[in-house]
Amino acid sequence: MKTLRTLLFLAFVGLVSCNNGKSQNYLPRSIGPVNQVTLVMDNDLWKGRVGDKIREHFAATAVGLTWEESILTLNQVPPKVFAGSLLNSKSILLVKKDTAEVAELKSDIYATPQRMAVFKGQTDEEIMNNIEAMAEEIIASYKAMDLKETQTRLLKSLNKEGVLEEKFNITMSVPSIYKVGRQEDNFVWMDREIQKGHMNIIAYEMPANSFSADSTLVREIVQMRDSIGALYIPGPDVPNKTTHMRTEPAFSPSIFSAEIAGRKAIEVRGIWDIKNYPMAGPFITYIIDDEANNRKLVVEGFTFAPATNKRDDMFRLEAIMKTTRFTN
């Protein structure tokens, strides 16, 4: 009797497990670095007009870098080799000729997290029109997924110095490898070494009424950055020369709307240099409208790494700064 009860119990557990299994989908973790896409596409299609349209959007030049880098790295493979570990790629773009016209963005098909965009059509024109219509949405989805994944990894080991909360009543998921190198009444500078250079995060406040006119916004942002550089970010010693960080005069920064911690913000991307010294790199600045505290909060990331690609370094700085949260 005891054996019969045991068998009935195991059968019940198995039945429940099978029923639950219908609504659960167990997937492996996706793989691949940030800003990289596995592009599944016939070689002939890749070399032709459709490939040109893909490159126009998905390999467009990134804004605010010291040399030309694409917004995404495309690793093209023909469909016959799209198998094995490639199925677990984090970002996938499938393009092919087909009798059915398809243009869609799917999530978590072979792995998680994963975004897979699919374009199919009978003609080049069908495929190209759908790429034109959906490229911006798909790129944003890839970027948002990479940003979230990067921010999750930041939590593994955080800087515990607490200076940002002490000075500005904010928290930020800054990795422990970053150390505070300088702090003043209204300025904090954290940095870390990387191969051939360093990555940096700075923070400071501006009056709430700063940047009141759109017509002078770019000029005022440049003036703000240059004044902060002159005060707090000196360059190497050069006899009879004044050296400090500034906005590269030859390149006007690009400005976009943004949102940080539910507050309106301005995103600024451009090139910094050192006045009177051959040293430069990219920066990304967020000017956050903090009405609750009657101020503009400025957080900025910049990189110095000569003769290296810096797109992914700047993406990681963006991910860190977008974790900014207000504690009051």
pLDDT band at 3 (very low <50, low <70, confident <90, very high): low
Reduce the DSSP state of residue 35 to 3 states and report it: coil
Res. 26 pLDDT band, cuts 50 70 90: confident
Per residue in 165-182, pLDDT tens? 999 999 999 999 999 999
Provide the pLDDT for residue 9: 46
Residue 88 structure tokens: 């677990």
Report helix, strand or coil for 261.
Answer: coil
- Given the DSSP bridges, would you call strands 73-77 and 91-97 parallel, antiparallel or unpaired? unpaired
User: For residue 221, what are its two tokens?
Assistant: 């942002």
Task: Detail the DSSP E strand segments found in 67-154.
Answer: 73-77, 91-97, 102-107, 115-121
pLDDT of residue 213: 85
As a whole number, the mean pLDDT across the chain is 93
> How far apart are the C-alpha atoms of 21 and 29, rounded to whole Å?
19
Residue 9 CA to residue 2 CA, distance in Å, equals 11
Q: Is pTM beyond 0.85 here? A: yes
Residue 21 pLDDT more than 60? no
163-326 to CATH, choices 3.40.1000.10, 3.50.50.60, 3.90.380.10, 3.65.10.10: 3.40.1000.10
Q: Are 15 and 52 a contacting pair, CB within 8 Å?
A: no
19: helix, strand or coil: helix
Residue ranges of the domains in the chain? Answer: 36-154, 163-326
Which tens digit of pLDDT belongs to each residue from 135-144? 999 999 999 9
Q: Please check the confidence at residue 37 and state whether its pLDDT lies above 50.
A: yes
Q: Which fold has domain 36-154?
A: Chitobiase; domain 2 (3.30.379)
Phi, psi values for residue 266, rounded to 5°: -115, 130
Tell me if 36-154 shares its fold with 163-326: no
The identity of residue 97, as a single letter, is K
Provide the pLDDT for residue 126.
97
